[in-house]
Chain A
């Protein structure tokens, strides 16, 4: 079951590369939150119940509900609905993404370790690559935000990979999630001027 969820998670990452509308990005972020919640429930069998509840609550409340809600509000305020006016065309991004997946799978097989699941490692690496790709190839602030949230999911996936042995790492990762969710999206995301799509006042 876990493997199906991980494959679904990888498909959402591919979808990011080809999607055109920001609202699709938000839906994908919410879906990733839900998938991570499912993966955590099925994978973390050895952690205590309180810890598991905390992780499940965080993925459901923050990743699936609160962060997409805040993103939605920022999109409505900015009035920008599509990304590709200021980004690399989706076709090229998809090709880069496929290369990223190949490299991640190869790297995960090189990094075989008795403490972690290779599938997790491959998809976590792919998630990291996708997040970085979105940040580098897009110019809209909202795209950068989404790229960062994908990196956050990569971190969460990495920590889940070793979660049974190291539950504290997941809790620390959650700390990062809450920090980012509340501060970046809740405060700065909503304070940035609605018409501001790029930040270029400060430059040499």
Chain B
């Protein structure tokens, strides 16, 4: 019943944030929600592998991703307070109500144990994110929100077709209500053709959330205009929702004869994601879009890791966790960068180290972390993926990935170095730099410190949680 209590409290807090037209009250409500989410996450650790309210299970992968969300809650709320400080009361309240709703729906999606409930929560996240992307009420934010809702809805409809095909396999009234674990008991009798079609629909549909090729464009445009703390969530915890939906179906089908087919499809989607991200990052002119393409690159690597199998499964989950911390810290930093430089256009950015040294250090450290350069923890994940590819003799995928990653490293490092140390290309467009307190970067350094720490030491509880999540997948 704890999950019901969590949902009821969260919904009430979200509604209260809109109804009470007072900033102080909204701040207290948002902080109260953060506390509730953290407490609920602690509770979920004590109820591992137990089911609550029939449709939710505290399984290891779900709880792990819920923990990532809980860790990012306070920094997101903190940076959200700063970002919205200049807004009208109405916008301020709607932003925080939307944020509470989004985090609640994501928590529900992580713990859902049936495909239909998971799908409903994913659909609900689209609604909440739409409110947040549209926050600035500009023509561009309207366009981005429109594209996000339209493409996500198309993706969700396709994912629903995947669920229908799952239902056709079983053909019973309670099929949509069956938990993943119950489905796994009957899946061996299913027609491989239906499983393949179902997987394709689910992959394409939920890739709108995961930000994976072919539906990656939806998140790229959203990042251009979304408030930086919202971009941090879209690029991390929301992508994790999409990953989890695909991962759960992958795990469900892994014991059947369609495993090699799924691996090939994931490899292809991963490689194409890397190709697209490398190509667009080389010509990127907008800093947040470049970071969005970096997320596409990382999700491509996750898909390749799953497709590689073996050690790749562990690497995929580790990469998902560390990417969440590294990318969110970079997106939080974007909020400060825009207040100092007043732009995200790369040509107009420069001298950041001189203007805001703490922020420039976050950018540089974040760049090292996200590009998987040692001592970044992502280096360990990528090394494991490459070892998996070598072990399987998938040389083409390995060589193509390494070449494309080299382009990504070149594109991102040259641009970050330009922002940090060079003068802006067009001095005439440079505005008077703003002043930002260096204390605002503390949470970003802490998140990056976790990523670096994981390079040297992975705590046993993390290893155990990841291993539990991949235990039933045949190696």
* Choice from B142, B157, B172, B175 contacting A151 with Cβ under 8 Å: B157
Contacts of B143 in A (CB 8 A): 199, 201-202
Query: What string of 1s and 0s marks CB contacts (under 8 Å) between A143-158 and chain B?
Result: 0110010011011001
With CB as the reference atom, state the residue of chain B lying closest to A46.
B173
Q: Considering the chains assembled together, what is the distance between the CA atoms of A1 and B13 in angstroms?
A: 51
Contact residue range for chain B? 35 or more
| 16 A–B pairs (Cβ distance < 8 Å), ordered by A | A110-B193, A113-B171, A113-B194, A128-B161, A145-B150, A154-B161, A158-B164, A165-B172, A166-B171, A168-B177, A169-B116, A173-B160, A175-B123, A183-B149, A184-B149, A199-B147
Contact between chains at B144 and A202 (CB < 8 Å): yes
Residues of B within 8 A of A (CB): 116, 119-120, 123, 127, 130, 139-140, 142-147, 149-150, 153-154, 156-158, 160-161, 163-164, 167-168, 171-173, 175-177, 191, 193-194, 197, 221, 224-225, 280, 283-286, 289
A135 touches B149 (CB 8 A): no
In angstroms, how far is the closest chain B Cβ from the Cβ of A52? 15
B173 and A167 contact, CB distance less than 8 A:
yes
Known contacts A183-B130, A188-B145: does B173 contact A172 (CB below 8 Å)? no
Render A178-194 as a binary contact track against B, CB cut-off 8 A, 1 for contact.
Answer: 01100110001001110
CB contacts under 8 Å to B, within A88-122, are 110-111, 113-116
A13 CA to B119 CA in the complex, in Å? 28
Q: Which of B145, B147, B154, B172 has a CB less than 8 Å from the CB of A135?
A: B154
> Chain A: residues with CB nearer than 8 A to chain B?
110-111, 113-116, 128, 135, 141, 144-145, 148, 151-152, 154-155, 158-159, 162, 165-169, 172-173, 175-176, 179-180, 183-184, 188, 191-193, 199, 201-202, 204
Contact at A199–B146, with CB atoms within 8 Å?
Answer: yes
How far apart are B232's CB and chain A's nearest CB, in angstroms? 19
Inter-chain CA distance A204–B120, complex, in Å, is 32
Is B164's CB under 8 angstroms from A175's CB? no
Contact between B149 and A166 (Cβ–Cβ < 8 Å)?
Answer: no
Closest Cβ of chain B to A125, distance in Å, is: 10
Q: Which residues of B contact A116 (CB under 8 A)?
A: 168, 171
Q: Which 9 A-B pairs have the closest CB atoms?
A: A115-B171, A202-B221, A188-B146, A199-B143, A158-B164, A168-B176, A151-B157, A155-B157, A202-B224
Q: How far is the CA of A159 from the CA of B191 in the complex (A)?
A: 19
List of B residues within 8 angstroms of A165 by Cβ: 171-173, 175
- The residue among A116, A188, A191 with the most chain B CB atoms within 10 A of its own CB is A188
Q: How far is the CA of A203 from the CA of B352 in the complex (A)?
A: 25
Cβ-defined contact, A166 with B173, below 8 A: yes
Minimal Cβ-Cβ distance residue in B for A204: B280
Residue picked from A141, A151, A154, A199, most chain B C-beta under 10 Å: A199
From known contacts A167-B173, A176-B157, infer whether A188 and B168 are also in contact, taking CB-CB under 8 Å. Answer: no
